[in-house]
Amino acid sequence: MPTTISTEIATRSKRGRSMVRRAALAGIIGPLLFTTVFLVQQVFRRAHYDPIAEPVSALEVGTYGWVQQINFVAFAALLFFFATGLHRGIDHTRFGILGPAFLGLASIGLVFSAAFPLREDAAGVIYDPGGHFVAGVTFFLSTALSLLALSGRLAKDPHFRVLATYTAACGVAAVLGFVVLGRFAIPDGAPLHDWAGLLQRIVLVGVIFPCLVALGIRLLSKARD
């Protein structure tokens, strides 16, 4: 009987580590795949799309807008799976659920981005028919809060401690980026509106995505130990 119980525990542990490894890969692949897809779209749609001025979501406009919608949903699924893996793979702390929970909420924001896409009127002006602004706020703010919350939990785990300060710094930078985008870039008539696309990409590709990939690599390393 004890042998049977021991075998069951070992099997569950092995399955759990396997799940965490897959989730870690999702955390690495998600940002890279999302970035690759929108960069490829920029190349093929360069005649009608300005990445400096227009946000990634503007790729939802037009005949091939469905490509970006699928890109949002695919990233959402990978990000949600990654959030569950982070919760299982990092040593638990009091209120430690907050980091993965905020990241899960960010994935819901991505789904809303696909469900409520930007549109283009007869004059060629891109507008939000309703819901997309909320989706954007949900993703960017939740991701920033997730990194801040995760940093405290990482500091308590010897395997992740090396990323604690970096993750906190990325969280602070993401919050600042959220404020700059929401107040000075995204709204029509904002002083940095003509640079909204570039600023959004700096926050995504320069701050949020490298941190997520770094966390994914570290989680994969721990799951393999």
Q: Express each pLDDT in 169-225 by its tens digit.
A: 999 999 999 999 999 999 999 999 999 999 999 999 999 999 999 999 999 999 987
Token duo for residue 39: 């960069």
CA atoms of 180 and 196, how far apart (whole Å): 9
CA atoms of 145 and 158, how far apart (whole Å): 22
Q: What is the pLDDT of residues 128-145, one digit of tens each?
A: 998 999 999 999 999 999
Residue span of the structural domain in which 206 resides: 2-224
pTM of the model: 0.93
Q: Which of 165, 143, 164 is nearest to 27 (CA)?
A: 143
Q: What proportion of the chain, given as a percentage, has pLDDT over 90? A: 85
For CA atoms 197, 35, 121, 110, give the dihedral sign.
negative
pLDDT, mean of residues 51-64: 95
Could you tell me the maximum CA-CA distance found in the chain, to the nearest angstrom?
75
pLDDT band at 47 (very low <50, low <70, confident <90, very high): confident
Tally the domains of the chain: 1
